Structure 1
Amino acid sequence: MQHGVGLQNTNTDELFAWLHLASIPHFGAATYYKYCQRLNWKVSDFFSASQTELLNLGFNSSQVEAILHPNLNVIEASLKWIKETNNRFILHLEDSAYPPLLKEISSPPLLLFGYGEQNKLIDLQIAIVGSRNPSISGKECAKVFAHNLCQCGWTITSGLALGIDGFSHEGALQAKGTTIAVLGTGIDNIYPKRHRRLAENIISGGGVIISEFPPQSPVRPENFPRRNRIISGLCRGTLIVEAALKSGSLITARYATEQNREVFAMPGNINNPLAKGCHYLIQQGAKLVTCVEDINEEFSDLKFNTEVTNSTKSEKNSIESLATDRLLDSVDFEATPLDIVAERSGITVSEVMSQLLEYELRGLVTAVPGGYIKLGEK
C-alpha cells in the first residue's frame, strides 16, 4: 500500500482514523506512543474503547467526547481537500514516508498536510529564518546564502513569512534548488497572501509546502511559534540571518538546540536592533557564520559540491582584495550618502557615481534610499 500521495492510493479508513486521532484536543505524539506501548494499541483501538474505559485510562471529558463523537465536518474537509488535485498528500506519524528526522523530535506532528513533491521532505535540509522586516543587507544575505547552500546540495526550509523567510525561498528558487515552506496556518490558507505567487513557484520548482493544520483551520497567533519546531525538526541545522532579541527566530533556534541540531547565526552591526538576537545566540554558543563554508564544515559526514565551495572561496578572496579599494572601502554596510562616499574616498562625485554603477553591476554594492550599501561577499 502506498501512503501519503492522495486518497486514491491510500486506505481511506486508516486515513479517517488518523484524522480523527489528530482532532482530539491536547493529544499529541507523546500521548499516542504512551498508549500504544502501554496497551499495545493501534490507531483503530482508540475508537473501539468505551467511555468508561477511556476515562479510566486517563482521558479527560473533552477528549472522550472528541473520540466518541468526532467532528465529521473537519475530517470530511480534509478528505475532500486531498481529492481535489493529485499534488496533495497527508502523511501520518506511522507512514513510511514520514520524515525520519522530524520523527526524532519530542513532539512531532501526528499529521502533515502538504502540496508538492512529498519525497523531498527526506532531503538534506537546512533552515534559514529571520526578521520579517530585515535590512537591505539582511535580505541580500538570505538570498545569497540560500542560493549558495542549494548549489552545495542543501534543501532550504523556512516559514514562507515576509522578510528573511521569503528571501531565503527566493534565493533557493533562483539557484534552481529545492525549498520547503512550513505554514503556521491551515494547509489551504497560504499566509501571507502576498506570498501566494511565491508558494506557487515553490511547488512548480519541485518543492513542498506543508502544515500540521488541516484545511479550514482558523488562523491562531499561537500556531506560528508552534510551527517553528517543525522547521528546525526537518533540518540538520538552522541559520538565523537577522533577529531581534524577542522574535520567532529565536524560538526556532531554541527548538533546534533542544532537538540537538546545529544553530548558526550571522553577526551584524552592534547598533542594529536586528543583529542583537544573532549576537545573543552567538554568545550562547551558536556558530558565527560569514560564508557557507562555515556551515558545511560542521557536517563532516556529508559530501558537498566542491566546485561550488571552491568558487565561493575564490569570489571571497577576490572581494577581500577589492575591499582595499578606497572607493569600496568608503561604502558602509548601512546606507552611505553619495557625498560621504566621495568625501571619504577623495574622488569626485561624478567618478564615484560611475564607479559605483560598475560595482553595483558586479553585485558589490546596491543603491538604496539615502545612498549605497556594501553587500559583502557572495
Structure 2
Amino acid sequence: MNKRDAYLWLNSIEGITNKNIQIIKENINNIEALIHLSDKEIYDLKNINLKIKQNIVKYKSLTFLDEIKNNLKKENVEYICIEEKGYPENLKYIHNAPSILFYKGDISLVNKNFNLAMVGSRKATTYGINCAKSIGKSLSNLGINIISGLAIGIDSYAHMSCIGGNGKTIAVLGSPVNNILPKKNIYLANKILEDGGLILSDYNINSKIFPSNYANRNRIISGISDGVIVVEAAKKSGALITVDFALEQGKNVFAIPGNINSFMSEGCNKIIKEGAILINNIEDILNEYEILNIKQEENLKNYENTGLNKESIQIIDTIKKQGVLHIDEICDNTRMEIKSVNAILSELVLKDVLIEMNNKTYSLNV
C-alpha cells in the first residue's frame, strides 16, 4: 500500500476525522504501514478512542480498499494526499490541512498562476451580482483563477464570470464531488469542468453531509487562494467565516464597499473598518500584489478606437474620471439631455463597455 492509498483507506473508515488521521500519523512514522500492524499495535495507539481503533481493526483489509477505489473509479473521481506532489502547496501549511482531497477536473490549477477567492451572500443584490461579474471577468481575462464555493448567489456569479476567460475557476464543495449541492448548480458544475476548471472536496464520495461541512470547507477556499475578495455580505454572512480563515492563514482580504443603508453591505463595510482592503476596481487588487502584467494593458479597452461617437466617448471619459455615476450625475457632468444620455448608455451596455448597476447607476466594464 502506498501513502495515497493509506490516506484513502483511513479516510473511508467510519468515525475517522482529518484530525484523527493527523494523530495516527504522529503515532507511526510511515502511515502506509498502519494496515500491516497487529491488532495489539493498533490498540496501543495513543490519543485515539477505542471505537476508532476497533473500526481500524475491523476494516484492516485490502479488499475494503479495493472496493473504495472501484467506487471512486465508477464516479470518475480522483484523489490526492497531502504527501503527494501536486497537492496544493498553499494548503499544506494551514491549520487542519486536509489529509486527502477528492476532485474532478484539473488539479494542477491549484499550483498554477494566481488564485483569488471570491465569496459573498447567497441573497445577492443586483449591485453585488454586477460587481462579481465585472471583477471576476476582468481577473479571468488576466489569467487569474477564481475560487469559490458553488453556492447560489455571489459564488455562482464568481464562477460564471471566470468561464471562457484566460483564467479557470475552482469550486470547493461542502459535499462530495459526486453529490453537487445545491442541485440547481449541477449545470454550472458541468460547465466548470467543460471549461477546464476544477471541482474539489475533502469529503469522500457518499459521505454524510452535515451543516458544519460548509464552514469547514471555507478553510480550503482561503487556503488554496492568494487572497480573498468579499463582494457582498450581511453582518452575519457565512462569507465572513472565509475571512476569518484567511486572516488566520495570513492572506490578504479585499472587500467591495456597499450602500450604508443596505443590510447586504453591512458585512463588507464592517470588515473594511476592521482593516480589509477597500477595492473599487481590479487595479486595487493588482497593486496590492505588485502585479505588473502586460496582459492587463492589452485587455483594458482602448475606447478611443472602438468607433464610438464623441458623445459616447465623453460619457465614458466622465465615468472613467468619476467612477460609478448615476444617470443624473452623468447629465450634470456632460451637460447633455437625459434622453440622449439614456440612449447612449443603453448602447454602451449592449456593447459591454459599461455595466448598469442599481437604479440607473453605471460603471466601466474593465
TM superposition score category, shorter chain reference: 0.7 to 0.9
Kept after mapping to 2: 8 A contact 1:21/1:43: no
Map of 1:19 onto structure 2: 8
Unaligned runs of 5+ in 1: 1-10, 333-339
Unaligned runs of 5+ in 2: 304-312
Cα offset, 1:203, TM superposition: 0.8
Q: How does 1:233-244 map to 2 (within 5 A)?
A: 233-244=223-234
With over 3 angstroms needed to count, the CA separation of the structure-2 counterparts of 1:111 and 1:272, relative to structure 1, is same
Kept after mapping to 2: 8 A contact 1:319/1:377: no
With over 3 angstroms needed to count, the CA separation of the structure-2 counterparts of 1:318 and 1:294, relative to structure 1, is farther
CA distance in 2, matches of 1:76, 1:373: 59
Kept after mapping to 2: 8 A contact 1:330/1:345: no
Kept after mapping to 1: 8 A contact 2:130/2:355: no
- Amino acid of the structure 1 residue aligned with 2:209: V
1:262 is aligned to 2:252: yes
Cα offset, 1:273, TM superposition: 1.2
Query: What secondary structure is seen at the aligned counterpart in 2 of 1:115?
Result: strand
CA distance in 2, matches of 1:262, 1:239: 9
Residue by residue, what CA displacement relative to the aligned partner does 1:139-168 show, whole Å, maximum 9, x if unpaired?
Answer: 111111111112223111111111111111
2:296 to 308, 312, 318: 308
1:122 to 106, 111, 134: 111
Map of 2:43 onto structure 1: 54
Cα offset, 1:134, TM superposition: 0.9
Residue by residue, what CA displacement relative to the aligned partner does 1:229-265 show, whole Å, maximum 9, x if unpaired?
Answer: 0000001100000001111100001000101111111
Kept after mapping to 2: 8 A contact 1:269/1:275: yes
Q: Given the two structures, how large is their TM-score scaled by the length of structure 2?
A: 0.83
Map of 1:331 onto structure 2: 327
Kept after mapping to 2: 8 A contact 1:102/1:230: yes
1:372 is aligned to 2:360: yes
Q: How does 1:183-222 map to 2 (within 5 A)?
A: 183-222=173-212
Q: Report runs of 4+ in structure 1 exceeding 6 Å deviation.
A: 71-74, 317-320, 340-349
Tell me whether 203-212 or 17-26 shows the greater mean CA deviation. 17-26
| Root mean square deviation, CA, Å | 3.5
Cα offset, 1:217, TM superposition: 1.6
1:322 to 318, 323, 333: 318
Kept after mapping to 2: 8 A contact 1:240/1:278: yes
With over 3 angstroms needed to count, the CA separation of the structure-2 counterparts of 1:293 and 1:347, relative to structure 1, is closer
1:279 is aligned to 2:269: yes
Residue by residue, what CA displacement relative to the aligned partner does 1:120-139 show, whole Å, maximum 9, x if unpaired?
Answer: 12122110011111111211
Between the two proteins, what is the percent identity of the paired residues? Answer: 31
With over 3 angstroms needed to count, the CA separation of the structure-2 counterparts of 1:313 and 1:288, relative to structure 1, is farther
1:94 is aligned to 2:90: no
Kept after mapping to 1: 8 A contact 2:174/2:217: yes
Query: What secondary structure is seen at the aligned counterpart in 2 of 1:218?
Result: coil
Query: What secondary structure is seen at the aligned counterpart in 2 of 1:57?
Result: coil
Query: What secondary structure is seen at the aligned counterpart in 2 of 1:358?
Result: helix
Query: What secondary structure is seen at the aligned counterpart in 2 of 1:209?
Result: strand
Q: Given the two structures, how large is their TM-score scaled by the length of structure 1?
A: 0.81
